[in-house]
């Protein structure tokens, strides 16, 4: 297992593919990327999410250890690849046994999402390769998001969908949060919440650097609605099963509080006429310890810093500096070439080293980029600049908790190493 996911097993569920039977033997939690929730009734099974394609066979084994009943419903909590694609072994089984095909429940926006992914499939794969670089989930076109099951029951707008199976009652609700197509399920008799990625057992995945807009305020409202159920169990999209009213309510409450906090504080500063940089710095300074230290809000995947960006972006356009210089900016390598006419590459490298040694890693990156962006020819100095940048990025990656941030930094390291090799060859 790659080093980067050590300590992340709780998020990825890759370790033992743990499964856990709960709620009087009616439900089974299957830890995967993402988790699968199984409900067993006399009339068949409900699968809430189906994990990623790669994990389908292992999920199938776990489900069949729990029950041999036919699958009646597959529910897509949202249209991300880690929740929708592991269905193949189940469909194969249905065909072999001559069972009826299951109903597939999704929100109408999930269908739009699948259409968007097919339009942007190459781009999606390009982003996955960076965001998931360390996990070894190599996204070839066959493993991409395309090919999810077609929904047969489509939830429109904010409609609630209620159904019965095997004498039990289930309710499905739509709320926006990590995505605009999220649905969550409540199993009334056993008081179980199935949340999808509206809950990931860590800081909400809001403002992910490669991803589109998320919805902090609506997300907090979803937490409130879930709290209203007073559930005994909560099966999250990632991380372990939560058991007991107290933990479930605390998890929902602290997540709602954290989302309301980032939303309301950014909005307050927008109304004070502040630009992004100032808002961001102030938001870092005021982040309360009660969130920073809370075990349910650790930045394992999402990160408070990303969330600030997300809320800002929801309400403000791309002109975020207030400095007209940035309205139609020159290319960064042209700017760097001009700076190298004023100070030499050696000057910049030396200054970057001083900053690095003084612990100012981010500033050191900006300074070293002048050499990297501004150099027109291969040289030993340029190789030095690449090496220093690799060192700084590695240092930052080691200190980062967020999986996404770590991966972006490590992708930078491997790209720079490749470039360094090329440069060395060209200098021989
Ligand atoms: Zn997920």
Rounded distance from Cα 35 to ligand 1 centre (Å)? 8
Rounded distance from Cα 243 to ligand 1 centre (Å)? 20
Looking at the chain, the domain(s) classified CATH 3.60.15.30 span 3-258
CA 43, CA 27: separation in Å to the nearest integer?
14
Rounded distance from Cα 418 to ligand 1 centre (Å)? 31
Rounded distance from Cα 237 to ligand 1 centre (Å)? 6
Rounded distance from Cα 80 to ligand 1 centre (Å)? 6
CA 351, CA 291: separation in Å to the nearest integer?
36
Cα of 208 vs its chain's centroid, Å: 6
pLDDT in tens, 86-117: 999 999 999 999 999 999 999 999 999 999 99
Cis peptide bond upstream of 34, omega within 30: yes
pLDDT at 288 over 50: yes
At 8, is the pLDDT very low, low, confident or very high (cuts 50, 70, 90)?
A: low
Strand, coil or helix: 144:
coil
Rounded distance from Cα 14 to ligand 1 centre (Å)? 13
Instruction: Name residues whose C-beta falls within 8 Å of residue 245's C-beta, 6 or more positions apart in sequence.
Output: 230, 231, 232
Rounded distance from Cα 376 to ligand 1 centre (Å)? 43
Strand, coil or helix: 163:
strand
What is the structure's pLDDT at 225?
A: 98
pLDDT in tens, 142-197: 455 678 999 999 999 999 999 999 999 999 999 999 999 999 999 999 999 999 99
- The answer to whether residues 345 and 377 touch, using CB atoms and an 8 Å cutoff, is no
Rounded distance from Cα 122 to ligand 1 centre (Å)? 20
- The answer to whether residues 84 and 50 touch, using CB atoms and an 8 Å cutoff, is yes
Rounded distance from Cα 82 to ligand 1 centre (Å)? 5
Q: What does each C-alpha distance from 46 to 51, 71, 92, 105 come to in angstroms?
A: 14, 6, 17, 11
| Total-model pTM | 0.93
The order of strands in the sheet holding 192-196 is 161-165, 168-174, 183-187, 192-196, 233-236, 242-243
Instruction: Name residues whose C-beta falls within 8 Å of residue 54's C-beta, 6 or more positions apart in sequence.
Output: 86, 137, 143
Cα dihedral sign, 133-134-139-145: negative
401-409 average pLDDT score: 92
What is the structure's pLDDT at 70?
A: 97
What is the structure's pLDDT at 90?
A: 97
Work out the burial of residue 228: count CB atoms within 10 Å of its CB; fewer than 13 is exposed, 13-18 middle, 19 or more buried.
exposed
- The answer to whether residues 257 and 204 touch, using CB atoms and an 8 Å cutoff, is no
Q: What does each C-alpha distance from 207 to 72, 165, 216, 230, 346 come to in angstroms?
A: 35, 37, 10, 29, 37
CA 311, CA 269: separation in Å to the nearest integer?
11
CA 310, CA 101: separation in Å to the nearest integer?
40
CA 105, CA 117: separation in Å to the nearest integer?
19
Rounded distance from Cα 79 to ligand 1 centre (Å)? 9
pLDDT at 394 over 70: yes
Rounded distance from Cα 338 to ligand 1 centre (Å)? 45
Rounded distance from Cα 238 to ligand 1 centre (Å)? 6
Higher pLDDT, 40 or 301: 40
Q: And the tokens for 273?
A: 């006429």
Q: What is the pairing mode between strands 103-107 and 153-155?
A: parallel
Rounded distance from Cα 99 to ligand 1 centre (Å)? 29
Enclosing H/E stretch for 37 = strand 36-41
Residue of 237, 407, 211, 406 lying closest to 310 (CA atoms): 211
- The answer to whether residues 186 and 231 touch, using CB atoms and an 8 Å cutoff, is yes
Rounded distance from Cα 9 to ligand 1 centre (Å)? 14
Rounded distance from Cα 161 to ligand 1 centre (Å)? 22
pLDDT at 133 over 90: no
Partner residues linked to 234 by β-bridges: 193, 242
What is the structure's pLDDT at 3?
A: 42
pLDDT in tens, 241-286: 999 999 999 999 999 999 999 999 999 999 999 999 999 999 999 9
Rounded distance from Cα 283 to ligand 1 centre (Å)? 27
pLDDT at 137 over 80: no
- The answer to whether residues 223 and 252 touch, using CB atoms and an 8 Å cutoff, is yes
Rounded distance from Cα 223 to ligand 1 centre (Å)? 17
Rounded distance from Cα 356 to ligand 1 centre (Å)? 36
Rounded distance from Cα 83 to ligand 1 centre (Å)? 6
CA 380, CA 291: separation in Å to the nearest integer?
46
Beta strands in 239-378 (DSSP E): 242-243
Rounded distance from Cα 290 to ligand 1 centre (Å)? 25
Rounded distance from Cα 378 to ligand 1 centre (Å)? 43
What is the structure's pLDDT at 17?
A: 66
pLDDT in tens, 66-86: 999 999 999 999 999 899 999
pLDDT at 2 over 70: no
Q: What is the CATH number of domain 3-258?
A: 3.60.15.30
Q: And the tokens for 133?
A: 């670089």
């Amino acid at each position: 297992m790659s080093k980067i996911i050590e300590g992340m097993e709780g998020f990825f569920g890759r370790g033992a593919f743990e499964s856990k039977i709960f709620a009087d033997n009616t439900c089974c939690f299957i830890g995967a990327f993402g988790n699968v929730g199984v409900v067993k009734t006399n009339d068949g099974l409900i699968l809430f999410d189906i994990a990623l394609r790669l994990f389908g066979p292992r999920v199938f084994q776990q489900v069949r250890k729990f029950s041999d009943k036919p699958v009646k419903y597959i529910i897509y909590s949202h249209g991300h690849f880690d929740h929708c694609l592991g269905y193949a072994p189940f469909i194969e089984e249905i065909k072999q046994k001559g069972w009826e095909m299951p109903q597939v429940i999704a929100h109408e926006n999930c269908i739009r999402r699948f259409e968007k992914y097919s339009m942007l499939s190459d781009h999606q794969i390009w982003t996955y390769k960076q965001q998931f670089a360390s996990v070894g989930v190599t996204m070839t076109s066959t493993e991409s998001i395309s090919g999810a099951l077609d929904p047969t029951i489509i939830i429109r707008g904010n409609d609630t969908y209620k159904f019965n199976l095997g004498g039990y009652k289930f309710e499905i609700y739509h709320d926006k949060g990590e995505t605009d197509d999220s649905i969550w399920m409540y199993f009334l008799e056993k008081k179980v919440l199935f949340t999808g990625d509206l809950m990931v057992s860590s800081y909400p995945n809001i403002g992910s650097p490669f991803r589109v807009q998320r919805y902090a305020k609506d997300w907090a409202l979803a937490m409130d609605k879930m709290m209203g159920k007073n559930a005994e169990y909560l099966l999250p999209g990632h991380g372990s099963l939560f058991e007991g009213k107290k933990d479930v309510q605390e998890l929902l409450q602290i997540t709602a509080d954290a989302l309301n906090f980032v939303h309301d504080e950014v909005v307050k500063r927008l109304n004070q006429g502040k630009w992004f940089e100032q808002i961001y710095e102030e938001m870092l300074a005021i982040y309360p310890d009660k969130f920073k230290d809370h075990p349910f809000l650790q930045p394992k995947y999402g990160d408070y810093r990303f969330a600030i960006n997300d809320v800002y972006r929801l309400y403000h356009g791309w002109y975020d500096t207030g400095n007209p210089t940035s309205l139609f900016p020159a290319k960064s390598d042209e700017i760097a070439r001009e700076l190298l006419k004023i100070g030499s590459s050696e000057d910049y490298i030396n200054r970057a080293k001083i900053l690095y040694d003084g612990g100012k890693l981010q500033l050191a990156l900006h300074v070293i980029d002048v050499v990297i962006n501004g150099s027109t020819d291969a040289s030993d100095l340029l190789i030095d600049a690449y090496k220093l940048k690799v060192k700084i990025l590695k240092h930052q990656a080691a200190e980062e908790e967020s999986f996404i941030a770590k991966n972006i930094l490590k992708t930078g390291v491997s790209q720079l190493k490749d470039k360094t090799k090329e440069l060395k060859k060209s200098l021989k």
